[in-house]
Amino acid sequence: MRGLSFITIVISSLLITSCGTDDNIDMTTARNEVLSVLENYQTAHETQNIDLLRNCFSPKSDIIILGTDEKELWVERESLLQEQQRFYESVDEVKLSVRDKVVKMCPTGLSGWFYMRVNWFVKSGDDQYTLENIRTTGVMNKEDDQWGIVMMHTSMPVKGQAVRY
């Protein structure tokens, strides 16, 4: 019985210390920092600023970015940025209309996840394109005192129900 009590205390202590919050973390500040990265993401696209966009993503080699096109899968930042630079060079104007933004924070204050709906307005020469209601979700981590996106997924919703349920 005594051994069981000791094991229970040790396991409980480990769970409490590993899953608890860091009392030194200001969650409002952490959430605002995540929102700032999302604002920079929008500004980077609208100003076609590849360096600002680079700062929105984690420099770690284990990120995953999934776009709306079937070929758009990136598992590290630089190939994503190379493709984005080609996009910027092929368009004259990009505007994003972001709404329904939701941010949730991990109790440690070192990770956050987000959702937002985005309308993309793109002008290239005489052609104009509008992509509406692009659902964008992602995860950010704070590493070396800087927030960066480590996972992002964008999708275009199907109108109506694809399968009735």
Considering the entire predicted model, what is its pTM?
Answer: 0.81
Would you state the pLDDT for residue 9?
55
Per CATH, the number for 25-155 is 3.10.450.50
Q: Where are the domains of the chain?
A: 25-155
Residue pLDDT, tens place only, 94-124: 999 999 999 999 999 999 999 999 999 999 9
Give me the sheet containing 111-124, strands edge to edge.
73-74, 64-66, 146-155, 127-143, 111-124, 93-105
Other beta carbons within 10 Å of 116 = 20
Answer whether 20's CB lies under 8 Å from 14's CB. Answer: no
Mean pLDDT score across all residues of the chain: 87
Q: What token pair was written down for 13?
A: 């202590």
| Rounded percentage of the chain residues whose pLDDT exceeds 70 | 86
